[in-house]
Amino acid sequence: MSAVSEIMSSPKKIVAASIKPGLSALDMAKLMIKNKVGSVVLMDGDERPVGIITERDILRKVAASNKPAKSIAAKDIMSSPVITVKAFDSIETAAAVMTKNKIKRLVVVEQDDSLAGVLSVTDIARKLAKILADDYNRYGHLKAILDL
């Protein structure tokens, strides 16, 4: 089947931020809203992904803390260590990693561990829908024969 790099969100659509002191959960929420995305990948000083913050992280961890989002450090709510797959890994491998770890977004890295993109369950569903539609178009005419 296809490689992760063929269906992941393009690097242009990925929102990443460097971990800095003072970066808050509120900053992450504003960044997501501004860019119309559901996650932010947090990078270290070497531009390597070290964590990810999703809308769900903000909702669950900030609400549970009973503190203002501005006073909660982004590094305290990020999922870390970040779970990754390589860009050349198969979609089946990525889906297995997502299922095993019960996650909906997976950070994709290049051979040198630099950020390549993010793969979501939506990306996988789109690919599966295309495969099913292609199969139907290819073999749909057989339905009439089978109905005889």
Q: Does a structural domain hold residue 51?
A: yes
The pLDDT score that the predictor gives to residue 1 is 62
Q: Does a structural domain hold residue 2?
A: no
* Helix (H) and strand (E) counts in the chain: 8, 6
The pLDDT score that the predictor gives to residue 136 is 72
CA distance linking residue 126 with residue 110, whole number of Å: 23
Average pLDDT rounded to a whole number, residues 45-68: 91
- pLDDT tens track for 57-102: 999 999 888 899 999 999 999 999 999 999 999 999 999 999 999 9
Q: Does a structural domain hold residue 53?
A: yes
CATH number at residue 22: 3.10.580.10
- pLDDT tens track for 99-122: 999 999 999 999 999 999 999 998
Domain that holds residue 30: 13-146
Q: How many domains does the chain have?
A: 1
Q: What is the pTM of this model?
A: 0.82
Confirm if 84 and 106 have CB atoms less than 8 A apart: yes
Q: Does a structural domain hold residue 8?
A: no
